Chain A
């Protein structure tokens, strides 16, 4: 179980907060997707959870700090060493006995299906194999929690499939996973929980299904013409969360009686709805709604 309460961190006193009151829980044995646009604070959050940095405010409760391992986005290993030597080094540097080291390395090799390339230098591996080695190294510490930072960047679909399956296997064995990614379909495929952060703040967090249910009554309309001003004024008063962009309207939450009201008013104003989308949005739609569409970089 990981519990974050009102976590705040900034890199310099004169800079804005990189994390500004982040709170969420990750239940033990779950895979929690961490989503956010570039600069949202994901890397800072992972650095705090992994112990690289200390939060300046707020509270962080972890089951067992020592058993967290990070799978960074970079290939964080030694290209001059072989796969086996890398694993042996990272196990050894954690103070394992020789026997334990061998056992852990063998297990990590098998978990990441790297046995056939154990003697090859890491620098000579393909992108997919490097990603698997990156994951295997994290397992040499026999962690209970894995923090994965975009672990599938630059790999082919086969390798991605393998890595996602490996993450699932880890969680099925009782491990807890925080999975940071920009790939929504991956998060939807493996995560039971999700946290979306932006500008250092938590926008939404909780079980993915529950979040979907909360956003299930969203309505998106593409109209034949912009609605009259008087109509818009009335709607904005009744549906304060409504957003409009020209002929496109979006209502994050709207009940069935609201639907009937809207269509009646549109018909009275002589405006046709050319496209109507109602119901549960996919994760990407939900993400874009929550974080807005503006570019961040």
Chain B
């Protein structure tokens, strides 16, 4: 009980001190809310992910036909700006799993009898599995490439030279107008039975990314308060009162975790209600209780990571200026590497594996699992666990840093 009452004293002090610090409050709440609002509105009419470098967007292809036509289609797609580097999946389920894991953006399934249908002048149905996190423009780009490749294969087949063009002079020709695009059966691959939402809007794409970025910026007020306490001697005074540094960290962790959660709710609220009031699109939140619980789990894990990181930076820095530089630059690097500023799928292929190193990428993955792939708690667990582990490791490092400072 004494330990708990000591913690309560620390929590109360932390909350009172923060609630009366107008600058810290502004940094914690007003700035991120304005940031989310401005970014959502600024990007509302643009598709930031318009596939300028679609070479880095991977697709995989499952050929169930094994015909000359299907081989020709695969060869044609290989000449498009999209990159089909992933090994072909064993079956449709394996293709789904690749998309759910974020390993590939599209999976094209060429059905049995594809070649015969072309010869018979029937319209084949090509099944296309799509990562629901992809924006509309990228999806359309890929659809058009598939259609174009199919028409070309149909023409060449009709000319009797599916892999060689053009046909010899005088050969029988068929008017192009008779060749139709294939029917594309597009399926956005989410989790569970519910259909994933329509292609995400700019708000749907941006709010989770900037929410994560803003939540990590809790490093600035936390480190300012922490360093102030150290510089004014309050921390030393607590140490002379036999208050361990571990207890001080615990005393800071919970209030800031709660504040970070309020921040998250506020920013989601901005995306959901304020952005549409200002002419933007509303953020769509999951409806089911399970999905909302999964969303909260990810958000809690992000807060754990952000507060742990902030306390580590605060223990490392000797002044507020140093903390601002270390924390700010660290956040920008994590954001840049982690796909916050530039989504992972439009990064160069060589860069994409590096995104996995950033906690912000894990956080984005967690939010996308819920908000774009209809995932539940089990789908968000890997990202949440990684974020929580990062936060706790950062706290441990903060504690070790203090122990080293004492000796």
Interface residues of A (CB under 8 A from B): 50-54, 66, 68-70, 72-78, 80-81, 85, 88-90, 92-97, 121, 137, 141
Contacts and interface: CB of A to CB of B under 8 A. Distances in A.
Contact of B233 (A68, A72, A88, A92): A72
Interface string B33-69: 0000000000000000000000000000000000000
The main secondary structure of chain B at its interface with chain A is helix
Contact of B6 (A51, A73, A74, A95): A95
A72 B237 contact: yes
B232 A95 contact: no
Taking each of A53, A69, A89, which has the highest tally of chain B beta carbons within 10 Å of its own beta carbon? A89
A213 to B, nearest CB: 36
Contacts of B16: 80-81, 85
A73 B233 CA distance: 9
26 contacts: A50-B240, A52-B236, A70-B236, A70-B240, A72-B233, A72-B237, A73-B233, A74-B233, A76-B233, A76-B234, A76-B236, A77-B232, A78-B13, A78-B17, A78-B229, A80-B17, A80-B21, A81-B16, A89-B9, A92-B5, A92-B9, A93-B9, A93-B241, A95-B3, A95-B6, A96-B5
A212 to B, nearest CB: 33
B232 A75 contact: yes
A70 B237 CA distance: 7
Given A68-B240, A94-B241, A76 B13 contact: no
A51 to B, nearest CB: 6
Interface residues of B, number: 28
B155 to A, nearest CB: 76
A88 B20 CA distance: 17
The 8 residue pairs across chains A and B that have the minimum distance between CB atoms: A92-B9, A74-B233, A76-B233, A95-B2, A76-B237, A50-B240, A80-B20, A80-B17
> Which of A70, A93, A94 has most B Cβ within 10 Å?
A93
B406 A95 contact: no
A96 B2 CA distance: 7
B238 interface: yes
A89 B13 contact: yes
Contacts of B8: 92
B268 interface: no
**Residue with the greatest number of chain B CB neighbours at <10 A, chosen from A66, A78, A85, A141:** A78
Interface of B: 2-3, 5-6, 8-10, 12-13, 16-17, 20-21, 229, 231-234, 236-243, 406-407
A69 B240 contact: yes
Contacts of B239: 51-52
Contacts of A121: 20
A51 B240 contact: yes
B241 to A, nearest CB: 5
A88 B9 CA distance: 8
Contact of A137 (B237, B242, B406): B237
Nearest to B19: A80
Given A89-B12, A94-B241, A72 B17 contact: no
A96 B234 CA distance: 19
Contacts of B236: 52, 70, 72, 76
A180 to B, nearest CB: 14
A73 B21 CA distance: 24
A19 to B, nearest CB: 16
Contacts of B240: 50-52, 68-70
Highest count of chain A CB atoms <10 Å: which of B10, B12, B13, B20: B13
Contacts of A81: 13, 16-17, 20
Contacts of B9: 88-89, 92-93
Contacts of B234: 76-78
B2 A52 contact: no
Which one of B5, B10, B236, B240 has the greatest number of beta carbons of chain A within 10 Å? B240
Contacts of A96: 5
A260 to B, nearest CB: 55
Given A66-B242, A76-B232, A93-B243, A52 B12 contact: no
Nearest to A95: B2
A90 B6 contact: no
A90 B237 contact: yes
Contact of A94 (B20, B229, B231, B242): B242
A75 B237 CA distance: 10
A52 B406 contact: yes
A93 to B, nearest CB: 5
Contacts of A74: 231-233
A88 B6 CA distance: 11
A14 to B, nearest CB: 15
A72 B233 CA distance: 7
A52 B236 CA distance: 7
A201 B325 CA distance: 41
A72 B235 CA distance: 11
A152 B6 CA distance: 30
A95 B7 CA distance: 9
